[in-house]
Structure 1
Amino acid sequence: MFPATLFDFNGVLVDDEHVHLEAFRDVLAPLGIEVSEEAYWERYLGFDDRGAFEAILRDAGRTTSPRELTSLIEAKRPHYMNRAKASLRTFPGAGELVTQRAAAGPVGVVSGALRDEIEFGLGHLRVRQHVERIVSAEDTTASKPDPEGYRIAMAWVADRLGAEAAATSLVIEDSPAGIAAARALGLPCIAVAHSYSQEELASTEANAVVATIADITPALLTRLWSDLGL
C-alpha cells in the first residue's frame, strides 16, 4: 500500500501563511506596496516566493528584473525565519502522520518553500529524521501547478524502489495548484482543507478530500488504495 509518501509543506504540515504574509509586508512596505490579508488569501496563496512577488508587483503596476526578484526573495528570508521562530504553528496530527508514513516507506517533501524554511519547520515538528528527500524552491525552475517538483521526487522514489512504486506514491496537498501538479503525473492525491474549503477542493482532481491532516487514517489509506485498484 502506497510505497512512498510525498508531502507538500506550507498549509499541509505547517500553518505559516500568516508568517509569509507578514514577511512579504516587511519587504514590500519600504517600496510603498501594501498587501492586505484579503488580497493575500484570494490572489497570492499557493505561489512560491518568486511567483508571489511577481504577482504582487504586477498588481501594483511595477515591473522588475529577475535580479531584483532574487534580491526580494533573499530579503524576505530572514524576516520569515525570525517570525517563524516566534510564531510558527503546526497542524495537529501532522507530525504523527509523517512518522507513521515513514514507518511504511520513504517520505519526501515537495514544496515551493525555501529549503531552510522547510528544514526549520520539520525540526519544529520533530520529524526531520523521517524525511529522506526535500524538493524545494531552489531545486525547480517552475512552481506548482507545474509538476516539475513532483517529477524530481518521482525520480528519487524510482531510484529507491523502482518505477512502479514511484507511480503509486501518495501525495498530500492543500491547494488546487498542488493537486494539479500531482495529478498531472497520475499520482494519487489526498487534499486537506487547511487553506481551501472542502467544497473548493472537491472540484479538483484530488482522489480524496479531508477536513484536516489528522483525518488521514490507516483505514482511509487502505480504502483509497483499494478504490484506486492499486
Structure 2
Amino acid sequence: MKAFIFDLNGTMVNDMPYHAKAWTNIINGELGGSFSDDEIKQNMYGKNAEVLVRMFGEGRFSAEEMDRISEGKEEQYRREFISELKLLPGLAEFLERAYQAGILMAIGSAAIPSNIDFVLDNLNIRHYFKAIVSAHDVTRSKPDPESFTKPAALLGVKPEDCIVFEDVPKGAEAAANAGMKAVILTTTHPVEDFINMDNILHFAADFNDDYIKALV
C-alpha cells in the first residue's frame, strides 16, 4: 500500500468513552435531554452541530448556540482525558515503522482542529502525517467519503492504494464509499456492528495485532 489514513478518536486514542461522557453531561445535564447512554453513543458521530440536530431536531439551536455548546463539550472532553492521553498499544511502533518504510500517512477525522492538535502535539506525533483533514475541512461528514478522499488527494495517491484505519461503522462505510479498504479497531463497536461491509480487511483490538504489523 502507498498510504495509510487514520481516523483519530477511538482509532489512534481510546477516548470515545470520554466523548460519550461529555456529550451525556451536555445533552442530558445542561440541555435537559433524557436520552439513554446507547442512544447517545449511536448518534455521536460527525460534526458536533450534526449531533445536536440528530438528538434535538432542526431549529432547536441557532448556529451560535451550537458553536458555544460544542466548544463547552470539547473543553470538558480535553480536561477529563488529558491524564489518560496515550496511543493505542502498538501504534507508536507502527507509525515509526511505516514512516521509516516511506509509507505516506494522513488523518481523516470528524474531530475539530483543536482536538486533533490536542492529540498530535501532546503526544509529539505530528511529523508522521503529511496531510490532516478535520471536521472543518469537509462539507459533508462520514459516511460521505470526503474525509478520506481529500487526504488521499493531498497525499497524491489513488483511493485503491490506501488503507483506512477506523473504529465505527460510519467510518468504514465512508472508506467503502471512497473506494478504500479498511482495518477496524474494535475499541468502540463489536464486530457484529459491521455486518455486510465487504471492504473490511481485518478486525483488531490494537496495533499489536499480527495482521496490522504485517502491513509494513
Q: TM-score, normalised by structure 2?
A: 0.85
Shift of 1:89: 5.1
Match of 2:4 in 1: 5
2 CA distance for matches of 1:35 and 1:71? 21
Q: Structure 1 residues 76, 32: closer, same or farther in 2, change over 3 A?
A: same
* Partner Cα separation in structure 1 for residue 165 and residue 100 of structure 2: 17
Question: What are the equivalent positions in structure 2 for 1:20-169 lying under 5 Å apart?
Answer: 20-28=19-27, 29-41=29-41, 43-58=42-57, 63-88=60-85, 90-104=87-101, 105-158=103-156, 163-164=157-158, 166-169=159-162
Which residue identity does 2:21 align to in structure 1? E
Q: How far apart in 2 are the matches of 1:123 and 1:113?
A: 15
Unpaired runs of 5+ in structure 1? 223-230
Q: Distance in 2 between matches of 1:24 and 1:12?
A: 19
SS of equivalent to 2:68: helix
Shift in Å, 1:37: 2.4
The structure where helix makes up a greater share of residues is: 1
Deviation of the 1:172 alpha carbon: 0.9
Structure-2 separation of matches of 1:198 and 1:16: 19
Q: Is the contact between residue 165 and residue 182 of structure 2 (CA under 8 Å) also seen in structure 1? A: yes
SS in 2 for 1:172: strand
Alpha carbons of 1:124 and 1:54: their partners in 2 closer, same or farther (altered >3 Å)? same
Q: Is the CA contact (8 Å cut-off) linking 1:7 and 1:109 kept in structure 2?
A: yes
Distance of 2:2 and 2:112 partners within structure 1: 26
Identical amino acids, percent of aligned pairs: 26
CA displacement 1:114-155 (0-9 Å, x = unmatched): 112112223344422212221111111211001111121121
Q: 2:31 and 2:192 mapped to 1: Cα distance?
A: 37
Instruction: Pick from 142, 166, 187 the counterpart of residue 194 of structure 1.
Output: 187
Report the secondary structure of 2:187's partner residue: coil
Structure 2 distance, partners of 1:186, 1:122, is 27
TM-score under structure 1 length normalisation? 0.81
CA distances 1:141-200 after superposition (whole Å, capped 9, x unpaired): 211001111121121011xxxx54x54121111111111111112112212222111233
Determine the C-alpha separation between the residues in 2 that align with 1:127 and 1:63. 39
Secondary structure in 1 aligned to 2:106? Answer: strand
Write the distance in 2 (CA, Å) between the matches of 1:213 and 1:201: 17
Residue identity in the other structure for 1:40 = I
Q: Which residue of 1 aligns with 2:163?
A: 170
Per-residue deviation at 1:55?
Answer: 1.6
In structure 2, list runs of 5 or more residues that go unmatched. none
Q: Which residue of 2 aligns with 1:227?
A: none
Q: 1:200 to 1:38 in 2, by over 3 A?
A: closer
Q: CA separation in 1, counterparts of 2:202 and 2:212?
A: 13
Shift of 1:101: 2.1
Paired amino acid for 1:152: K
AA aligned opposite 1:116: S
For residue 217 of structure 1, the aligned residue among 208, 212, 215 is: 212
Paired with 2:24 and 2:65, the residues of 1 have a C-alpha distance of: 17
